Structure formats: C-alpha cells, structure tokens
Chains A and B, each alone.
Chain A
Amino acid sequence: MGKVRGAIVVDIERCKGCGLCVVACPTDTIVLADEVNGKGYHYAKMGNPEACTGCTNCAMVCPDSCITVYRLKPEKSK
C-alpha cells in the first residue's frame, strides 16, 4: 500500500501569512510564498505537495480558516 496522499487549498486572499500552518505541518509541505496577496501578506502554499498526507494539522491551527484539506482514500493512493 502506498503512502497516504493529501493536498491543501489555501484561500490566498484570506491568508495573513502568520506562518502557524508552516510549523504545524509534520511533513514540511507548506511554505510562505515569495509573492504577496492583495493585503500584502506572503501567503501560505504547498511548497512540497508530494509530502502532504492530508492530516489537517495546518487547517486546525489556522486562525483565519484559510485551509481546506483533501485526502485520498488509502485504496486509491496505491
């Protein structure tokens, strides 16, 4: 059976670039973008999408509820 695969979608305009999701992610998936959003914040994005397991840790600590998380059912991620 393959590794569990997940992915996140960040609401870029809602993100304030606080970085709390970056340190909460156990697989170092998330980075703050070099670019900024409309508010001037370096928003969060998947820098290493291969690593995401869809554990939801980042979404739970995000104060601005910017993150939606998806996870492939194990049988599909072989």
Chain B
Amino acid sequence: MIDVKDIIKPENLVFKKSKLLLDTPMHYCPGCSHGVVHNLIAEVIEEMNIQSETIGVAPVGCSVLAYNYIDIDWHEAAHGRAPAVATGLKRLLPDKFVFTYQGDGDLAAIGTAETIHACNRGENITVIFINNGIYGMTGGQMAPTTLEGMVASTCPDGREHSRDGYPIKISDLVAQLPGTCYVTRQAVHTPGAVRKAKKAIRKAFENQKLKKGLSLVEVVSTCNSGWKMSPVAANDWMAENMFPFYPLGDLKDE
C-alpha cells in the first residue's frame, strides 16, 4: 500500500499554481470563470518568460482589480477604454506585450467604439474578452450579449428583442475587419476546454511578436451569482444555452 505521504513529495509534483499569481486571495465569487482565465494568463506569461515585458490593461467590471492578482505591470482604464489605453502603450513601447482584459459590459457596451476601432486599426495587442452575458459587478443587469429569453435583473422575464434588441456577437463582427489576425471563442468549464483556451491565449500573445495585428480571445463564461445558480449548474446552463448562440472555435486565424 502506498501512503499519500509517499506521493506528496517535490519530485512527484505535476501541477502547482503559477509563480506569477500573487498570494492575494481573489475577490471573485466562488466558481467564477474570471479566476480560471487569470490563471491561464499567468501561466502563459510565465511559460513565455515575458513577465517583465508584459503590460495588462484592467477594465471596469468585476475584474477591475485584476492588477492585484498577476505579478506584471498593469494600467487601469476608464470603463470601456482599455483598447485605447493599450493602443497608446503599445505604440510607445512596441516591444512590450500589451493585453486588455475586459468583460462584455466593458467591451461590448460602453467600449464598443474603442473595441471596433482598435480592431480595425490592427493594433498589435491582445484582447481577452470575458463574455458572461451580463453586467456582473453592478448586479446582473442585461448586457448587449444577454441571450434572448435570458433572465437578468433589468429583464426579469427574459430578454425580448422587440424591447431590448438582439444579442451581439462581437467576435463575429471583428473577425470581418482586416485589422484582426486571430479571433477565437473559447470556454473554461472543463479541463479539455481549459487546455484549448490556454493554447488560444498563448497564440494571441505570440502574434504580437509577429506584428500581425490584433488578436481577440473571447471566453464564454459564467457569472453564477448574477445568474442565480450554483457554479456547477451555471457551467451546465452555459453549455446548453450559450454555446449554441456563441459556438466555440476559431473564427479567424491568419
């Protein structure tokens, strides 16, 4: 019989948290997709050995405090303006790896203009887009990405298009712009999905070296608090309801 104590030894280590993740406990709700994506970004930066060359731009939204968690340089942006701030940083410091980290309220509502035009200008930056279908931080209000029929605090009977308009597919929109080189939609609800999402984030960072244009990685995510579900139920709901409208996979890879 092997004792657990004989397995837990440094030489048998196969997975530990990235060195770039600070010990500060994350303020996110239990089970929130934000935490998983933070881990992947930290792992990619650590594996590419670009800690001192990377600048993140944090948004307004639940991830406003992202700079407390990953040990790199950060800049905070006003709501929706992260791609504009990232543009300035990258143009002044073209050898740095510059990325934005934005929710769907930030990127697809108040920041739509900054998003579209940074994509259209082909800025050599990476955009990480957390699409959880609502405004998490402010109490689960409807976002431009909220699905038809999906309940949010400002559409308690579900989104209805004659009143609320239609959900917007940002990745499909920006994939049509010549300035984007890589647009992909990923998720982090299963180990397999996490592996794929990590590869996508890695590629989106590598593209900056090749100066190919803007790379956008959408991560279809859950906000289980806002959705009023358990973390496990929120992942199931996402797979059943979000993936048919926001199908996973590459939309563009040039």
Residues of A whose CB lies within 8 Å of any CB of B are 5-7, 9, 14, 16-20, 22-24, 41, 46, 49, 54-57, 59-65, 67-73, 77
Contacts and interface: CB of A to CB of B under 8 A. Distances in A.
B76 to A, nearest CB: 22
A63 B17 contact: no
Contact of A20 (B7, B14, B21, B235): B235
Contacts of A62: 35-36, 39
B232 A63 contact: no
Contact of B25 (A64, A70, A72): A64
A56 B14 contact: yes
B16 interface: yes
Contact of B13 (A17, A41, A61, A68): A68
B161 interface: no
Contacts of B29: 16
B122 interface: no
A24 B190 contact: yes
A5 B7 contact: yes
B28 A67 contact: no
B134 to A, nearest CB: 18
A37 to B, nearest CB: 11
B219 interface: no
B198 to A, nearest CB: 9
B2 A5 contact: yes
B144 to A, nearest CB: 25
Contacts of A22: 232
B52 interface: no
Given A7-B8, A19-B231, A70-B8, A65 B14 contact: no
Contacts of A57: 191
Contacts of B91: none
B31 A65 contact: no
A22 to B, nearest CB: 8
